[in-house]
Structure formats: structure tokens, C-alpha cells
């Protein structure tokens, strides 16, 4: 049975400039590696009007249950100004005990740790009872339309049974072992346009300034106290991210004003209940000022929580054994593809330290990479006891 080295494999994966949603050949490369371990693989390319096509990979070894799945992404964010890097971001280099390169932290090194751990496990457990699978997407950093969401739909149609999923996102704030994610807040982005009436600034009575209205709306929305948080979640928060008035003249009252805001909400709310509350405020204020508005909503995901079970606690104990830190079960931070996977199985997220993700000179500690592979290997050994 072939064994893969986590560091070598991480280097090979980083060399692919797989900037969302570009595949750059990385799925075919990974598929070949998994076939060498005996996996049955399928590259799934999905297309949807208005979005670029994306390649994904589902691989499974074994036909019996239980089926333990590793999930993650090989797409990356752009490197930014390459001159700001100390190396070429797609020519990985080891410096001062760290592997540097775009995707080293988020999350090609975790993918390498998955595969390396599986190869070691299989070399010692040729006839284990159950299945190991991988769901690898190329659309986590982008629109998340043609990625994991559609793979999950495919698995549902195939009636593929997954018993537990581990997503390898970088979950630790400062040290490996600090944090496991067992849920995430929902995310709702709103794009609001207020239609006023253009006119001369010296004659405001002949116009209807949309900037006045949008400022009042945003102030009222920002002042909403959605909740105080829960035992498992931090409070819901609304943040204004863009305000735009496209007006080239200083003596003209504009015709339109636009704003974008995002709400991260806990499981006290749903996107539906949030939208209902927002629409009520928008209608009231726009009616008072005799203006029209348009609002577009995009829901990235609903709030979710995976109730800890014996597998969660097993993973927690293994992490403590290897890192000497008992990881906190948390729901903090952004969202992840577990928001889609939760529809077919329970799961959690555990990966590297996220300090350098999306930054210049993104890096992973070689010690952390080695220990992460060891953690993943121990999880497999315990899960299939």
C-alpha cells in the first residue's frame, strides 16, 4: 500500500494556481493520488446560469458502513501583489520551520493531512470494517453555488450514506488544539436601493433626497438589538459594508442611493424571520418619506448546530492527547461548507491555526502539519475500532 507524505503532498497541491473557481488541474491530480489508495472516484462538474462552472471530487473507499467523510476545498483566494511575498506563492518553500505558499493554511495542507493519514491507516488496516470518503470542492472561497451544495444534492440522489463528517478548515485562533467548530451562525447579505427624486441642492423642496432616507434606514437597522446570544452562539450582528451614491455633481441632489449590509445570525432566527423584520422597517421609513425602494437578499447559509455526540467527544479527546490542549467546542467565526453537509450527516470542523489564511506569506507550521496528520490518523483508528 502506497503511503503519502503530508509535507510533500501539501507542496504539490500548493503548486496549482487553483484560484476560485479555476481548477488548474488539481482535481485530476488529487483523483490519481486517491485511486492509488484504492478509492473509487468521481469528478463532478456543475454549472448554473450566471456562475462559472466548478469541478468537485467525491471519492469513497469501501462499500460498508459506517462511512466516515473528510471534507474540504482546494480552491484558494488570489495572492494579491506577488511582490509583497518573500517567495512565489505557487512555488512553496520551507523557512524557519514553516511551509509558505498560497493555500498552505486554508486549506491545502489539511487536504494533504487527510490523504497522508488515510494512507498510513490503510497500510495498517487493510480490512477495516466500514468506508472512508472525501468530498473536495473547488468553490468554497467563491460563490459556493456549484460546489459542496450541489455535491450534497448529488449524494442525496445517489442515497449515499454518510455517518460523520470532519471538515478540515483552520479552526484554531493561536495554537493547534484550541478549538473545534460544531456549528456556525447564518449569513444574510442585503443590497438596498432607495429611489428618490433628483433636483437642485438649493431647492430641496422640489426633490426627494434618497441619501437622507438611506441614512435613517441604516441607523435604525444598526440599532436593532436582535438578541443577547445563546449558550452556544454569540449575539446576532449587522454590519454595513458599502454605501454608494453615484453622483458626479456637488450641487445636485441624487436620484438613488445604495447600501450593502450583512447580518450574521444565531439559531434564534432564520433568514426568513430576519427578512420579515427588515422589510417592515424599510416599508415604514420609505412610506414616510414618499420614496420607493428595492432590496435584494442573498442567504449564504442558515445558522446550525451539531449536537455533540460520542464521535465529537472522541475527536476532542484525541486532540487533547496529541496537543495537550482540550479544544473548546465553538460556533464562532464565519461560515463553512458544513452548512451544506449538515443536511446529510452530523459533523465538525477541525484544522490548522488560522492566523495567516488569506494573508501574504500564508504559512503552516511543520510541527502543526505533522500533529494534524497524527490527529486525523488517530481519529480513523478510533472510529473504526
CATH number of the structural domain spanning residue 30: 3.40.630.10
The answer to whether residues 105 and 203 touch, using CB atoms and an 8 Å cutoff, is no
Q: Which of 256, 283, 301 is the last residue of a domain?
A: 301
pLDDT number for residue 2: 85
Domain contains 1: no
217 — pLDDT class (breaks 50, 70, 90): very high
320 and 347 co-located in one domain:
yes
Same domain as 191, residue 180? no
**31, 154: one domain:** yes
**48 and 180 part of one domain:** yes
Radius of gyration from C-alpha coordinates of the chain: 24
Strand pairing category for 164-167 and 347-349: parallel
At 353-377, the pLDDT tens digits run 999 999 999 999 999 999 999 999 9
CA 224 to mean position of chain CA atoms:
27
* Shared-domain flag, residues 295 and 379: no
* % the chain with pLDDT above 70: 100
| Mean per-residue pLDDT over the chain, rounded | 96
Same domain? 55 vs 80: yes
Mean pLDDT across the stretch 151-171? Answer: 97
Q: In this structure, what C-alpha cell is assigned to residue 250?
A: 456637488
Helix (H) or strand (E) holding 181: strand 179-181
Q: Decide: 125 and 384 in contact? Cβ < 8 Å.
A: yes
Q: CATH number of the domain that 237 lies in?
A: 3.30.70.360
Q: Which DSSP state fits 172?
A: B
For 330-342, the pLDDT digits (tens) are: 999 888 999 999 9
pLDDT of residue 383: 98
Please check the confidence at residue 1 and state whether its pLDDT lies above 80.
no
Catalytic machinery residues: 75, 140
Q: What is the DSSP string of 320-362?
A: HHHHS---EEE--SS--THHHHTTTS-EEE--SB-TTTTSTT-
* Domain boundary residue, one of 273, 301, 329: 301
- Is residue 69 in a domain? yes
pLDDT single digits (tens) 300-310? 899 999 999 99
b/e map of 250-269 (b: 16 or more CB within 10 Å)?
Answer: eeebbbbbbbebbbbbbbeb
Question: Looking at residue 126, what is its pLDDT?
Answer: 85
Whether 115 and 52 share a structural domain: yes
Task: Look at residue 276 in the predicted model and tell me its pLDDT.
Answer: 98
Q: Does residue 228 sit in the same domain as residue 262? A: yes
Please check whether residue 135 is in contact with residue 69, taking contact to mean a CB–CB distance below 8 angstroms.
yes
Task: Domain count for the chain, please give it.
Answer: 2
In tens, the pLDDT along 170-210 reads: 999 999 999 999 999 999 999 999 999 999 999 999 999 99
109 & 43 share domain: yes
Cell numbers describing residue 343: 443536511
Over the stretch 93-120, which tens digit does the pLDDT of each residue have? 999 999 999 999 999 999 999 999 999 9
Give the range of the structural domain holding residue 217, as residue numbers without chain letter. 186-301
Residue 88, domain member (yes or no): yes
Whether 224 is covered by a domain: the verdict is yes
Same domain as 345, residue 289: no
pLDDT at 18: 98
pLDDT at 325: 98
Same structural domain for residues 93 and 236? no
For the stretch 117-153, pLDDT in tens is: 999 999 999 889 999 999 999 999 998 999 999 999 9
The pLDDT tens digits of the residues spanning 35-92 come to 999 999 999 999 999 999 999 999 999 999 999 999 999 999 999 999 999 999 999 9
Whole-angstrom Cα distance, residue 114 to residue 214?
48
Q: What is the pLDDT of residues 317-328, one digit of tens each?
A: 999 999 999 999
Of 278, 301, 324, which one is at a domain's C-terminal end?
301
258 pLDDT exceeds 80? yes
Cell 468521481, residue? 42
pTM comes to 0.90
- Look at residue 107 in the predicted model and tell me its pLDDT: 97
Residues 178 and 196 in one domain: no
Evaluate whether residue 291 is within a structural domain: yes
Place of cell 486549506: 107
Count of H helices and E strands in the chain? 9, 19
Amino acid at each position: 500500500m502506497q503511503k503519502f507524505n503530508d509535507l510533500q503532498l501539501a507542496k504539490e497541491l500548493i503548486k496549482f494556481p487553483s484560484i476560485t473557481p479555476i481548477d488548474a488541474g488539481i482535481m485530476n491530480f488529487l483523483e490519481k493520488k486517491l485511486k492509488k489508495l484504492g478509492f473509487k472516484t468521481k469528478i463532478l462538474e456543475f454549472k448554473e446560469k450566471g456562475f462559472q462552472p466548478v469541478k468537485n471530487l467525491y471519492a469513497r473507499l469501501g462499500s460498508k458502513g459506517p462511512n466516515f467523510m473528510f471534507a474540504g476545498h482546494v480552491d484558494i483566494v488570489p495572492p494579491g501583489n506577488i511582490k509583497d511575498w518573500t517567495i512565489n506563492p505557487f512555488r512553496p518553500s520551507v523557512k524557519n520551520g514553516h511551509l509558505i505558499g498560497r493555500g498552505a493554511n486554508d486549506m491545502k495542507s489539511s487536504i494533504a493531512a487527510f490523504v497522508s493519514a488515510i494512507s498510513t491507516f490503510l497500510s495498517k488496516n487493510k480490512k477495516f470494517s466500514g468506508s472512508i470518503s472525501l468530498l473536495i470542492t473547488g468553490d468554497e472561497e467563491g460563490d459556493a453555488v456549484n460546489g459542496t451544495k450541489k455535491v450534497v444534492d448529488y449524494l442525496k440522489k445517489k442515497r449515499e450514506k454518510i455517518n460523520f463528517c470532519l471538515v478540515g478548515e483552520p479552526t484554531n485562533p493561536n495554537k493547534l488544539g484550541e478549538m473545534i467548530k460544531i456549528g456556525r451562525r447564518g449569513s444574510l447579505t442585503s443590497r438596498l436601493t432607495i429611489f428618490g427624486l433628483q433636483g437642485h441642492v438649493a431647492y430641496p423642496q422640489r426633490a426627494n433626497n434618497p441619501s437622507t432616507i438611506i441614512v435613517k434606514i441604516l441607523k435604525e437597522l444598526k440599532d436593532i438589538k436582535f438578541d443577547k446570544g445563546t449558550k452556544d452562539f454569540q449575539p446576532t450582528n449587522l454590519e454595513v459594508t458599502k454605501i454608494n451614491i453615484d453622483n458626479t455633481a456637488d450641487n445636485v441632489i441624487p436620484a438613488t442611493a445604495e447600501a450593502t449590509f450583512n447580518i450574521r445570525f444565531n439559531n434564534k432566527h432564520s433568514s426568513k424571520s430576519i427578512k420579515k423584520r427588515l422589510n417592515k422597517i424599510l416599508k415604514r421609513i420609505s412610506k414616510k418619506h414618499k420614496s420607493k425602494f428595492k432590496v435584494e437578499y442573498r442567504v449564504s447559509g442558515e445558522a446550525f448546530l451539531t449536537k455533540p455526540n460520542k464521535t465529537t467527544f472522541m475527536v476532542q479527546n484525541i486532540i487533547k492527547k496529541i496537543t495537550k490542549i482540550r479544544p473548546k467546542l465553538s460556533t464562532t467565526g464565519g461560515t463553512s461548507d458544513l452548512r451544506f453537509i449538515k443536511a446529510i450527516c452530523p459533523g465538525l470542523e477541525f484544522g490548522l491555526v488560522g492566523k495567516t489564511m488569506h494573508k501574504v506569506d500564508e504559512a503552516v507550521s511543520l510541527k502543526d502539519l505533522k500533529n494534524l496528520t497524527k490527529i486525523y490518523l488517530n481519529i480513523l483508528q478510533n472510529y473504526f475500532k
